[in-house]
Structures are given as C-alpha cells and as structure tokens.
Amino acid sequence: MAGAVIQSTILPHFSIWGLRIELVLLLVVSWSMLQGPEAGILWAIVGGLGLDLFSAVPFGTMTTALALTSFVIGKVGIGLLRTNSLLPIAMAPVATALFNGTVALILEGFGWHLPWSELLTGVILPLALLDTVAMVPVFGLLYGLHSRTQPEINW
Amino acid sequence: MFTRLAPLLLIISIGLAGILSFRTPQLRFVQDIAVQVFAPVQWALSGPSAGVAEFFQNFQGISDLRAENARLREEVDRLTQETVRLPELERENQELLAQLNLKRSQPTYQWITAKVIYYDPSNLVQSLTINRGSKDGLREGMTVITPAALVGRITRVSPATARVLLITDASSSVTAMIQSSRTKGVVNGQRREFLKMKYIPQSETVRTGDKVITSGVGGVFPEGILIGSVTNVSKKDTDIFQEADIEPGANLASLDTVLVIINHMPVTLD
C-alpha cells in the first residue's frame, strides 16, 4: 500500500520520458521470486488493490494483472535465482511487458480503444528499460531483507 | 555614667583617629603598617570569599546562559522556519502573479484553485486527482488549466475530490487551432509527454514554434486557451491531412496546483 502511495504521489515528480517507475510491480515480482509465487500472489493482491484505489481503470484491473504477473514471474524467477542471484533482475522487462500488456488487454475488454503500436513503442519498451534499472536497488533491498529474516531460501 | 558612654567615646576616638590619619600625612605610616600587617590575612580571606562569590556568580551565570541558550534556540528555530517559508511564499507569490496575468488575459473566466493530490499509478492512463469536489461546485466536464496552459477536463467528481483526465491521455481529444493562421485541427494525447495535432489540411502552412490554442469547436473546452507549441510537422503528399507534434505548454508530469474554470460547462446535445 505504501508502494502504491509512493508510486502515485512521489514518483510522478521524477518521471522520465513522461513515464513513472512501477514500484509496486517491482516489489511484488521481487518478493515472488524470493519467496515463491504463492507468497507473491498475496503481495500482488494487496499491492494491486492499492493501485486500483488510486487508478481510473476499472476496479480490479491492476489486482488481476499484478497477480498474474507475480505468479508467472515467481515460477520462472525462483528457478533463475538458484543459478545466479542477479539473473532475476533480467525478469524486470518481462514483468513490465506482461503486467502492462495484461492491463491493456483488460481495458480493451472494457471497451477502451488503445493505440497498440504507440503503446508498445511509447510506453512498454521505454518503461521496461526504466523498470530494469530500478529493479537493481529494489531487488537488492528485498534480497537483503529476505536474507536477514530467512537466511535459508526454501526452494 | 562613664561606663555607659564608653562605647560611644571609643567609636568617636576611632573616627577621630581615622580623620587625623587621613588629614595628617605624618600619621599615614601607621596606616601603612596596618595595611602591611593585615594584607596577608585579608588576602587569605578574600581568596575563598571571592571564590564563593564567583561560584554564586557562576551559578547565576549558568542560569543566565541557559535562558540565553533557550532564547537563541528559539531564534534559530524561527529563522529555520523562515528559510523554509520564504521559498514557499516566493513560489506562492509567483503562482498568484501568474493567475493575475491570466485573469487580465482571460477576464471572462472564473476559476477556483485546487491542489493535485496524486497521479494515476498506471502509465497507461494519464489522469490525476485534485482536492476539490462537488461540494466546491465542481462538475464533470469542467476545464482544468494552469496559468500557463490547458491541463485537461474533469471526468469524475466526488464530494471532496475530482479526477482530471489529462490532455496527454490517448482517449483525450481537443479541438484546436494554430493561433497565428487560425488553422483548425484536433489535438490527441499520445500517453507520453507529447501531443499530436491531426486533421490539419495539407494546404495550410504549419511551422515549428507555432502556438496551438483551443478552438472552442464542439463546446467541450472554452476558446483561446494555450495547449502548447509545435515541435515537429509531418507532411506527406499522399495523405489528405498533415500532422504536428505538440509540446504541452504546462508541465503535466509534475503539477502541484491547477485551476478549474467554473463558469464554462461543456455543451451537450441534451
């Protein structure tokens, strides 16, 4: 919830190319990769509800998209974590594309007409780059927190 | 009788002796001897006495220092507050000056100011929420501006807040015209910081730097509000219309305060 508040109040003032870093998405997928997809979904529901509260999209859109993204990335990422602890950072652009693609699809289903080519080149691709850069400190922070609280990762 | 007067006589004689010694230089040596004899005793006594006196003076001094310290701390706190407040006052002053200039240039519009509470957390939607709502007289469709340029329109109102759809949102369309040539077109959002002006006839000349304002056609937005400036023109001979990229006149990504025009409502077919 705090992540949703930060994302909607502070981060807009630090937007790059008119885009804002998706802090809640990064927190949720990081936790999902560290703790497993089941634990990640819980975070996704809480974080998604926070985003839905502040968003103009139909209520539930963010929660659904975040839960799906968290589950998929958690499944794939936790395997990558076994080989190299930095590899999950590479999952950030995949998470960005999956999350925003899902949101866009749901919006289309609700009758919103989205300019898909502009959405891809103007939003998703540059946002994937921004989120990847931001993923480094976010994942590092959660990895440190996770190591302190649960030194042995349960695979 | 003599016994009763003895103390009085003693005091008088000591007094007289003192006067005589002061008036008679020859007797001063007696005084000098007395000083010499009693000086060590006086010094010995005056040292601790001075110490005790100094101790009490210091004690008093500490109390004074404490009071002074508290006063200085208050002064520092006050000055710190001032240093924080001054830039805020300066900013507020600039905002009010900008509003005053806007009032001079657009005398027909009435507005109320509103603070931006938060932006939409999704990058797919360009909207923000302000701290004014229906209890302040806001209605859906009202135009939102800054002293610099157009921001968007209100799409949802609650008693205490209102949601504003920014002109950069892909679902936003604003009927517009090039200010200098009066060439008309439609400005669409692009979900990025730039806008696109479409449906500009090929025969018209559009130049980089041209100002784009609302045309008022359709009655959604009032006429004559700055939208932004042309940054790029796309003209193909095969197309019926030409397009222009527009940079918004207001910094839509980082707004603190906006103005809601309350005496213009969109025209509806009802």
Residue in A closest to B192 by C-alpha: A18
Q: Which of B228, B210, B39 is nearest to B148 (CA)?
A: B228
Segment B253-260 shows an average pLDDT of 87
Answer whether residue B144 shows pLDDT above 90: yes
Confidence of residue B154 (pLDDT cuts 50, 70, 90): very high
Q: Which of B155, B156, B254 sits opposite A12 (nearest CB)?
A: B254
pLDDT digits 0-9 by tens, B206-217:
888 999 999 888
Please indicate if any CB of chain B lies within 8 Å of the CB of A6: no
DSSP β-ladder status, B143-145 and B211-214: unpaired
pLDDT at B269: 62
Contact A17 B192 (CB under 8 A): yes
From chain A, pick out residues whose CB is under 8 angstroms from the CB of B190.
115, 118, 122
pLDDT at B30: 61
Contact B192 A18 (CB under 8 A): yes
From chain A, pick out residues whose CB is under 8 angstroms from the CB of B123.
19-20, 22, 100, 123, 127
Answer whether residue B69 shows pLDDT above 60: yes
pLDDT at A37: 80
Segment B67-92 shows an average pLDDT of 83
What is the rounded average pLDDT for all residues in chain A? Answer: 80
CA A101 to chain centre: 12
Residues 57-116 of A with CB under 8 A from B: 57, 62, 100, 103-104, 107, 112-115
Q: Which of A13, A20, A24 sits opposite B123 (nearest CB)?
A: A20
Contacts of B188 (CB under 8 A, 6+ apart): B170, B172, B173, B195, B196, B197, B198
pLDDT over 90 percentage in chain B? 16
Residue A9 Cα, gap to closest chain B Cα (Å): 5
Contact A122 B122 (CB under 8 A): no
Q: Which superfamily, per CATH, for B110-270?
A: Rod shape-determining protein MreC, domain 1 (2.40.10.340)
pLDDT over 70 percentage in chain B? 80
Residue B75 Cα, gap to closest chain A Cα (Å): 32
Number of domains in chain A: 1
Instruction: Output the CA torsion B80→B81→B82→B85 (10° steps).
Output: 130
The CA–CA distances, whole Å, from A155 to A52, A57, A70, A74, A83 equal 31, 36, 17, 11, 12
Give the separation between CA A59 and CA A56, rounded to whole angstroms: 8
Domain that holds residue A30: 2-149
Q: Are A31 and A45 in contact (CB under 8 A)?
A: no
Give the separation between CA B146 and CA A33, rounded to whole angstroms: 44
A154 within a domain of the structure (yes/no): no
Residue A77 Cα, gap to closest chain B Cα (Å): 24
pLDDT digits 0-9 by tens, A93-152:
888 998 998 888 888 888 877 778 778 887 888 888 888 888 888 877 877 777 777 655
The top-scoring range by mean pLDDT among A79-93, A126-140, B148-162 is: B148-162
Contact A8 B118 (CB under 8 A): yes
A144 within a domain of the structure (yes/no): yes
Please indicate if any CB of chain B lies within 8 Å of the CB of A25: no
Residue B120 Cα, gap to closest chain A Cα (Å): 5
The top-scoring range by mean pLDDT among A132-146, B21-35, B115-129 is: B115-129
List the beta bridge partners of residue B226.
Answer: B213
Answer whether residue B162 shows pLDDT above 80: yes
Q: Which of B120, B124, B194 sits opposite A123 (nearest CB)?
A: B124
Least confidently predicted of B37-41, B98-102, B160-164, B196-200 = B37-41
pLDDT at A155: 43
Q: Which of A17, A18, A57 sits opposite B122 (nearest CB)?
A: A57
Please indicate if any CB of chain B lies within 8 Å of the CB of A146: no
DSSP β-ladder status, B173-178 and B211-214: antiparallel
